[in-house]
Structure 1
Amino acid sequence: MFVLQHGTVAASLVEQYHQPTRRPGARPRVSRVKGPMTLIKGKVALITGVARGQGRAHASRLAAEGADVVGVDICTQPDHVSIPGATHEDLRETERLVSRAGQRFVAHVGDVRDFGFLRSVVDHTIAEFGRLDIVCASAGVWAISAADGAVSDAERAGVWETTIATNLMGAWNTLDAAIPAMIKAGNGGSITLIGSVASMSGQLPMDSLGSRVHAAQMGYVASKHALVGLMRSYALALAEHSIRVNCLAPTGVRTAMSQNEIVEAIGERHPSAFDVFANRMPIDVLEPEDVSSVLVHLVSDSGRFTTGVVLPVDGGFLLR
């Protein structure tokens, strides 16, 4: 089902979301662990960046585990991003996979940088399903380009601003749109931000590959680091509501973001350019489904007491 739409600090968050509705000493309500393939049966998941790549894999796997899925994607080419964006056809394929698992899929086309849009998505979700249990903020960009040489000051700023706005503000918007409804429902829940090994490690500036790649990579690393602070602050604020907030930190994943003509062109001109991304285990990249398997643990009752964690799925990348 398609629905086309228009395109702090920890202490203050605790104050904003604190609602002392539970009697002192009472334990939060938690459900028992379910059997295989029904770990999240009856739950509703909101996933951004759902049209392809990790977002699609997450939607497919959560549906296989019993969740209905509400998906968000921009389905157009963002400014200052050279890697081709997802399409409406990509989104339809995600819908097909979720439906094949026997679950409902509602798609909203719009931009995670638009808070009003995301708030309308959540309102529609509550009206349609009556609940929202799982949030996965997966939308993101890597604004590298095959262009060599210097870029204008305006383009440099545009690459940085698009990256920070999409990867960081988009996640923040997603959380702030979803959290009030999750608190009001009183069912607890799980929120996962899709970070990266770049959330946990510094990376050498890539100015030798050109100013455009350098700006894109520094913006990407900064945005993924910032997700960790965002996650920890919300985890602290929402623990009393039994809403868990975590961050996944995968190494490179086989998606259109990392496997494309632009990356190939850079690699041909600079054969050692991506050596810095090598994993310790004998794998080049993960499959999206590898990340989805860990996501299932975090969002299901298997991980019901896991919160405030950055969980690497990295093939040993961080063993430096």
Structure 2
Amino acid sequence: MGKMDGKVALITGGARGQGRSHAIRLAEEGADIVVTDICEQIEGVHYPLATKEELDETVALVEKLGRRCLGYQADARSGDQMREVTDAAVAELGRLDTVAINHGIGLPHGTDADSLSIWDTVIDTNLSAVWRTAVAAIPHLRNSGGGSIIVTGSAASLVGLYNNAAYTTAKHGLIGLVKCLAADLSQDGIRANAVLPTNVNTKLFVNDYNLSRFCPNKENPTIDDMRFTAQSLNLLPIPWVEPEVISHAVLYLASDDAKYVTGIALPVDAGMTIQPPGIGPFLGARLGELEYQLKEAREARG
């Protein structure tokens, strides 16, 4: 018996990364899956977004588990597109029980005039499109007698990030949206919750653009050069988590294990959002080590 036997789950941003991981994990527990992704580049995003080939690969991976999987190229920023694909999927699979609204982009920016268009792009993608997806799915959840809406927030849902006002604002907004959905849909037996990851080893975080940002003085930086800065953001001694770690939380919120859980924001953040003020233990130890090395170098020079 799987925790999702007889259930159907729709996952946005499902072509790769966290979305693909969620699709596989829910399928392993018996769910049939619907995955959507934009599968084209969004203007201003500095790293390659998912492709149709990656979306097809997600479908194939789920089907290898013996579950049905439908893949749709759709832009979650379009309420019409999301209604069309959700209606089509439910017509084929017969029901909808879980919606994991997982899509999002990272687009750092400053406070100059160029940030205005970036703000609109990020807010539309990371916040407004979540609302549009939920609106498309809610009638089908009602028809199934209830269900679960799971929104991918971020540690940035609870704390501010440098040079990421739009991303942080959108992710903060998701907490308010989840609370309102939980209240508005409670009488329909529909739960709404958010999961808040720390850095995750996906293309949204680990990409050439972020390598250059995290390692500004390093020529041709590698992922290993990024580890120190990334780990300094977390209390636990890790730079990031794998997508499967977040998928376990999504499964919990989707399943009957969480049947009385609604309106919460569940951090899976390695302690990022509860960092005490000042220098954390990892960074402090590293700074102490560097200070000692510098002292030794000075003494060696006389």
Cα deviations across residues 89-139 of structure 1 (Å, max 9, x unaligned)? 211221121011111111110210000000111211221111000000001
Match of 1:113 among 77, 80, 83: 77
* Aligned mates of 1:310, 1:230 — CA distance in 2: 11
Match of 1:181 among 140, 153, 169: 140
Match of 1:315 among 245, 270, 289: 270
* Aligned mates of 1:66, 1:259 — CA distance in 2: 31
| Matched-pair contact (CA < 8 Å) for 2:231–2:238 | no
| Matched-pair contact (CA < 8 Å) for 2:82–2:136 | yes
* Aligned mates of 2:274, 2:153 — CA distance in 1: 18
Paired residues for 1:1-320 under 5 Å = 35=1, 38-144=2-108, 153=113, 155-186=114-145, 188-203=146-161, 205=162, 214=163, 217-269=164-216, 274=229, 278-320=233-275
Using the TM superposition, give the Cα deviation of residue 268 of structure 1 relative to its aligned residue in structure 2, in angstroms: 2.1
Closer/same/farther in 2, CA of residues 151 and 264 from structure 1, 3 Å limit: same
Closer/same/farther in 2, CA of residues 222 and 290 from structure 1, 3 Å limit: same
Using the TM superposition, give the Cα deviation of residue 275 of structure 1 relative to its aligned residue in structure 2, in angstroms: 5.8
* Aligned mates of 2:254, 2:144 — CA distance in 1: 17
Using the TM superposition, give the Cα deviation of residue 312 of structure 1 relative to its aligned residue in structure 2, in angstroms: 0.4
* Aligned mates of 1:306, 1:140 — CA distance in 2: 24
One-letter amino acid of the counterpart of residue 149, structure 2: I
SS of equivalent residue, structure 1 residue 135 = strand
Aligned residues: 267
One-letter amino acid of the counterpart of residue 257, structure 1: L
One-letter amino acid of the counterpart of residue 199, structure 1: S
Using the TM superposition, give the Cα deviation of residue 221 of structure 1 relative to its aligned residue in structure 2, in angstroms: 0.3
| Matched-pair contact (CA < 8 Å) for 1:83–1:144 | no
* Aligned mates of 1:247, 1:78 — CA distance in 2: 25
> 5+ residue gaps in structure 1?
1-34, 206-213
> 5+ residue gaps in structure 2?
219-225, 276-302
SS of equivalent residue, structure 2 residue 63 = helix
Cα deviations across residues 58-85 of structure 1 (Å, max 9, x unaligned)? 0011111111111110001011111111
Worse-superposed segment, 286-295 or 92-101: 92-101
**Structure number having the greater helix percentage:** 2
Worse-superposed segment, 89-98 or 159-168: 89-98
* Aligned mates of 1:69, 1:185 — CA distance in 2: 15
* Aligned mates of 1:270, 1:177 — CA distance in 2: 46
* Aligned mates of 1:202, 1:265 — CA distance in 2: 21
SS of equivalent residue, structure 1 residue 46 = strand
| Matched-pair contact (CA < 8 Å) for 1:81–1:159 | no
* Aligned mates of 1:313, 1:151 — CA distance in 2: 30
Query: TM-score, with normalisation over the residues of structure 2?
Result: 0.84
* Aligned mates of 2:141, 2:30 — CA distance in 1: 19
Cα deviations across residues 9-44 of structure 1 (Å, max 9, x unaligned)? xxxxxxxxxxxxxxxxxxxxxxxxxx4xx0001100
One-letter amino acid of the counterpart of residue 48, structure 1: T
* Aligned mates of 1:64, 1:242 — CA distance in 2: 25
* Aligned mates of 1:234, 1:316 — CA distance in 2: 27
| Matched-pair contact (CA < 8 Å) for 1:248–1:313 | yes
2:280 corresponding residue in structure 1:
none
SS of equivalent residue, structure 1 residue 142 = coil
Query: TM-score, with normalisation over the residues of structure 1?
Result: 0.80
Answer with 1 or 2: which has the greater Rg.
2
